[in-house]
Amino acid sequence: MNKVIVKICMGTTCFVMGASDLQELTDIIPEKYGDKVEVYASTCLDLCSSNTESQAPYVTVDDEIVSKATVEKVIDVIDRKLKNGQK
Ligand code: FES
- Give tens-digit pLDDT for 7-45: 999 999 999 999 999 999 999 999 999 999 999 999 999
Residues 87, 81: Cα–Cα separation, whole Å: 7
Q: What is the dihedral of CA 66, 72, 74, 79, to 10 degrees?
A: -130
Distance between Cα 63 and ligand 1 center (Å): 16
Distance between Cα 4 and ligand 1 center (Å): 20
Average pLDDT, the chain: 92
In the chain, what are the domains? 4-83 (3.40.30.10)
Mutate to test the pocket of ligand 1, among 21, 42, 45, 53 (most ligand atoms within 8 A of CB): 45
Query: What is the pTM for the complete model shown?
Result: 0.91
